[in-house]
């Protein structure tokens, strides 16, 4: 029952308390708790069916079960008729939630769901009635329940689930294969996030290990993400510059618009022409190489102390040059240092849960790592732990003194380990209590 109430998500008071726990707030779809509830309900129902087949007419609850099923079927059917006869109120409610475009479909699905539930309730009542009456057909009740549930499962799964052929995913396509060979540790931005691009974000990109800037789904976007994308994101080019975007996929007509700006025309070079399917037919698109981005790892000799709540506005300011100056929180007490030149590119073979780079600094400098600032990361300079700085509002960085250094960023991942150990301990505790309880009952017997 806990899983059932959690499945209601934000509409459940229990879930509002539950998602405050560590790691739980990252759950994308609370409705998936309903799957666990259904599995548990199926197990309990199997025990109920076993009792029904064993007791049949002699069971005191058999009559109550078929009567309850029949009454439930009538109520569910009335709910279906209400939705069909008086759909206006439901449509208005959905429109008020922001789903006006889909209100008709949602009302239709709601009516079908009520009818589906009513039909199953009537079938359950009829089968239990046969058992209660002790008719000769009662010996087939178990098989009848199995056929009904199997058919219902096949009907629902064929409607809501679709298997994809992995052969095409493994083979890739011209765009994903090009990015896999040329992207390196930098990122790619999709101007259009619908259609085939949505598929690339959801499956092709993660499968081939591509670094895609676009956010596919995020149920509760962090406050700093909202602030950064809402403020800095007003200037797409500045956003690409700050987030290590090397390639931009866009419709060909957008390239023509961008090339009208001489400055942008010099920063964007066509790398690959291709076509994508749309509702209007095949559309010519182009993969552009953006040469103005700050790489994932870069060395800066200049910085400016700016309060954290003002950094997004400073980054979006046209007068700020992010190529030679990074922003630090005044709490670090680094003061200001004017850099005489632009950043120095730092090369790393691979950027994953850890990254190591060689640094040659002529003066005190900041190694900027274009990776979301999180407390689970650790930094080391020449093997010694060092403080991770929050750079340019969202990124990470470390300070290095003049000279040759080896800098390593490493994701500790302690939260996941703690959550796993806590879960394992909880399961072991529950199993231990159940084992002790079962043994005590056996001893009493």
Side-chain half-sphere CA neighbours of 295 within 13 A:
18
d(CA 125, CA 62): 10
Using the Cα atoms of residue 229, residue 233, residue 239 and residue 244 in order, give the sign of their dihedral: positive
Q: Average pLDDT over the chain, rounded to whole?
A: 86
SS (H, E, C) 223-246: HHHHHHHHHHHHCHHHHHHHCCEE
Q: Which of 230, 200, 231 is nearest to 213 (CA)?
A: 200
CA 147 to chain centroid? 36
At 1 the three-state DSSP class reads coil
d(CA 75, CA 121): 10
Q: Tens digit of pLDDT for each residue in 171-216?
A: 889 999 999 999 988 999 999 998 899 999 988 999 999 999 998 8
What's the confidence (pLDDT) of residue 228? 94
* Confidence band, pLDDT 50/70/90 cuts, at residue 347: confident
Mean pLDDT lowest among 214-218, 232-236, 269-273, 399-403: 214-218
Which residues, at least 6 apart from 381, have a Cβ–Cβ distance to it below 8 Å?
Answer: 398, 400, 405, 406, 407
d(CA 156, CA 184): 42
Show me where the domains of the chain are located.
Answer: 2-160, 169-290, 297-412, 414-445
Q: What is the DSSP string of 373-435?
A: --TTEEEEETTEEEPPEEETTTEEEEEE-SEEEEEEEEE--HHHHHHHHHHHHHHHHHHHHHH
Helices 33-55 and 103-133 cross at an angle (nearest 10°) of 20
* Confidence band, pLDDT 50/70/90 cuts, at residue 426: low
CATH code at 169-290: 3.40.190
d(CA 431, CA 166): 39
Q: Tens digit of pLDDT for each residue in 246-262?
A: 999 999 988 888 778 87
Strands laid side by side in the 268-278 sheet: 187-190, 245-251, 281-290, 268-278
Per the confidence metrics, is the pTM higher than 0.85? Answer: no
Q: Which residue has the tokens 């060909």?
A: 252
Q: Tens digit of pLDDT for each residue in 133-155?
A: 777 777 788 888 889 888 888 88
């Amino acid at each position: 029952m806990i899983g059932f109430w959690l499945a209601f998500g934000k509409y459940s008071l229990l879930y509002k308390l539950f998602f405050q726990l560590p790691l739980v707030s990252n759950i994308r779809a609370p409705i998936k708790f309903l799957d666990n509830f259904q599995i548990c309900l199926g197990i309990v129902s199997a025990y109920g069916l076993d009792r029904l087949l064993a007791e049949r007419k002699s069971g005191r609850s058999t009559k109550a079960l078929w009567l309850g099923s029949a009454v439930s079927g009538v109520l569910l059917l009335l709910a279906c008729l209400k939705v069909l006869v008086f759909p206006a109120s439901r449509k208005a409610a959905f429109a008020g939630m922001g789903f006006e475009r889909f209100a008709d479909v949602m009302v239709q699905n709601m009516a079908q769901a009520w009818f589906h539930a009513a039909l199953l309730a009537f079938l359950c009542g009829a089968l239990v009635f046969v058992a209660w009456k002790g008719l000769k057909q009662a010996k087939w009740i178990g098989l009848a329940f199995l056929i009904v549930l199997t058919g219902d499962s096949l009907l629902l799964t064929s409607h809501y689930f679709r298997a994809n052929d992995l052969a095409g995913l493994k083979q890739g396509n011209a765009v994903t294969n090009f990015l896999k060979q040329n992207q390196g540790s930098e990122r790619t931005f999709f101007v259009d996030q619908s259609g085939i691009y949505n598929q690339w974000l959801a499956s092709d990109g993660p499968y081939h290990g591509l670094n895609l800037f676009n956010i596919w789904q995020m149920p509760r976007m962090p406050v700093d993400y909202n602030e950064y994308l809402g403020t800095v994101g007003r200037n797409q080019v500045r956003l690409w510059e700050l987030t290590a975007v090397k390639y931009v996929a866009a419709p060909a007509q957008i390239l023509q618009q961008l090339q009208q700006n001489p400055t942008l025309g010099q920063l964007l070079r066509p790398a690959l022409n291709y076509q994508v399917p749309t509702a209007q037919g095949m559309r010519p698109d182009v993969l552009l190489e953006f040469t103005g981005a700050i790489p994932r790892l870069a060395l800066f000799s200049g910085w400016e102390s700016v309060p954290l709540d003002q950094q997004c506005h400073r980054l979006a300011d046209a007068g700020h040059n992010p190529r030679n100056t990074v922003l630090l929180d005044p709490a670090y007490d680094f003061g200001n240092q004017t850099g005489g030149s632009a950043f120095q590119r730092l090369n790393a073979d691979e950027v994953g849960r850890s990254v190591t780079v060689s640094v040659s600094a002529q003066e005190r400098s900041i190694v900027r790592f274009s990776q979301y600032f999180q407390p689970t990361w650790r930094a080391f300079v020449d093997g010694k732990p060092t403080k991770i700085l929050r750079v340019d509002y969202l990124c990470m960085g470390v300070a290095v003194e003049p000279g040759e250094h080896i800098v390593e960023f490493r994701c500790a991942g302690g939260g996941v380990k703690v959550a796993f150990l806590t879960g394992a301990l909880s399961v072991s505790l529950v199993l231990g209590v159940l084992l002790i309880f079962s043994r005590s009952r056996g001893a009493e017997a």
